[in-house]
Amino acid sequence: MARKPSSKSEFVLFDVIYEDDAVRSNRRVPREILGGLDGDEPARAFLETQDREIAERSGRPMAAIKIVRRS
């Protein structure tokens, strides 16, 4: 029997706009770190950490994040 889709997923999708105006859409952030008094601010820190790890692995610096908004 097929399962009904859940109304709450584990992740929230965000669009990230960088200082050089590059856009990365649908970046996944765990729902559990969001909410509370900080709202979506923890998503920015999470995405910056991911970008830092990607930059270290690729050897190319990432641009700074200008805007983070829900998709």
pLDDT over threshold 70, residue 5: no
Q: Cβ distance 62 to 55 under 8 Å? A: yes
What's the chain look like in SS3?
CCCCCCCCCCEEEEEEEECCCCEEEEEEEEHHHCCHHHCCHHHHHHHHHHHHHHHHHHCCCCCCEEEEEEC
Which has the closest alpha carbon to 29: 7, 44, 51, 8?
Answer: 44
pTM of the model: 0.81
Residue pLDDT, tens place only, 26-69: 999 999 999 877 788 999 999 999 999 999 999 999 899 999 99
